[in-house]
């Protein structure tokens, strides 16, 4: 009998917390924040598309768009954290992938301010969605840093791939990538509706 009690006690001490889902277990530090945007494919394709489009448009869009996106995203994220509602977030995210992917696929070169406004407008949806999912009470600084750095790295990866557009074959590859992003966005839109 004593052995059973002892064994039960040891097993109880060995138990780890039953977290609602696996990500919550890590979503309190830099790595949790870093992985947060990467776990959402709909976010990933839109952020890569921002980098692709920036590279396609050239200087100054190549750095202006990745500067505008995190700033607007953070403001919208703050509203999401504070529980301010925003309708049609999932639709907005899907449309962002369609529009941004289409811009790359069609090699669209609108005036810089239009590109910045478009990217900023779509960043609202992405930021709000992320903000609403951020764990309140997390190690705020480390988590937010990881989150913002991951977003920036996704832009950088898009820019890196987008620089292939300097060569004719690379230009085709970048436009195809934009088309694929738009199609994936369309699939997300159908699912969201």
Partner 1 sequence: MSQLLRTVLIVCLVMLTTPAWAHAPIMGIRGVLGGLLHALLIPEHGASLVALGLVLGRQQQLARRSGLLIFAAALVCGLVAAGLAVEAKLAPDILLVATGILGLLIAAGWGPPVLGWPLAAIAGLAFALDSTPETTSTDETIRMLIGSGLGAIVALALVAEGAGVLRGNGQPIVARVLGSWIAATAILVLALRIATRMATG
How far apart, in whole angstroms, are the C-alpha atoms of residue 58 and residue 159?
10
Residue 152 near residue 67, CB atoms below 8 Å: no
Token reading at 120: 């900023």
Q: Is 32 in the site for partner 1 (CB under 8 A)?
A: no
Q: Is 78 in the site for partner 1 (CB under 8 A)?
A: yes
74, 121, 173, 186: which one binds partner 1 (CB under 8 A): 74
Q: Which of 96, 109, 115, 117 is nearest to 48 (CA)?
A: 96
Q: Measured from the CB atom, is 67 or 192 closer to partner 1?
A: 67
How far apart, in whole angstroms, are the C-alpha atoms of residue 67 and residue 72?
9
Closest separation in Å from C-beta 111 to partner 1 = 20
142, 173, 180, 186: which one binds partner 1 (CB under 8 A): 142
Q: Is 111 in the site for partner 1 (CB under 8 A)?
A: no
How far apart, in whole angstroms, are the C-alpha atoms of residue 147 and residue 168?
35
Residue 104 near residue 178, CB atoms below 8 Å: yes
24, 71, 172, 176: which one binds partner 1 (CB under 8 A): 71
Residues lying near partner 1 in the complex (CB under 8 A) are found at: 3, 6-7, 10-11, 13-14, 63, 66-68, 70-71, 73-75, 77-79, 81-83, 131, 134, 136-138, 140-145, 147-149, 152
């Amino acid at each position: 009998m004593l052995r059973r009690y002892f064994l039960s006690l040891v097993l109880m001490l060995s138990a780890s917390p039953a977290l609602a889902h696996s990500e919550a277990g890590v979503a309190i530090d830099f790595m949790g924040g870093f992985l947060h945007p990467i776990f959402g494919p709909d976010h990933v394709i839109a952020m890569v598309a921002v980098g692709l489009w920036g590279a396609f448009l050239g200087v100054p869009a190549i750095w202006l768009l990745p500067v505008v996106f995190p700033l607007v995203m953070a403001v919208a994220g703050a509203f999401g954290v504070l529980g301010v509602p925003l309708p049609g977030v999932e639709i907005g995210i899907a449309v962002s992938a369609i529009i941004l992917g289409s811009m790359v696929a069609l090699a669209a070169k609108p005036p810089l301010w239009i590109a910045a406004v478009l990217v900023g407008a779509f960043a609202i949806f992405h930021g709000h969605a992320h903000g609403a999912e951020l764990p309140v009470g997390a190690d705020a600084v480390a988590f937010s840093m990881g989150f913002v750095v991951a977003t920036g790295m996704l832009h950088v990866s898009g820019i890196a791939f987008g620089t292939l557009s300097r060569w004719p074959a690379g230009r085709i590859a970048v436009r195809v990538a934009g088309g694929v992003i738009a199609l994936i966005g369309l699939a997300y839109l159908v699912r969201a509706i």
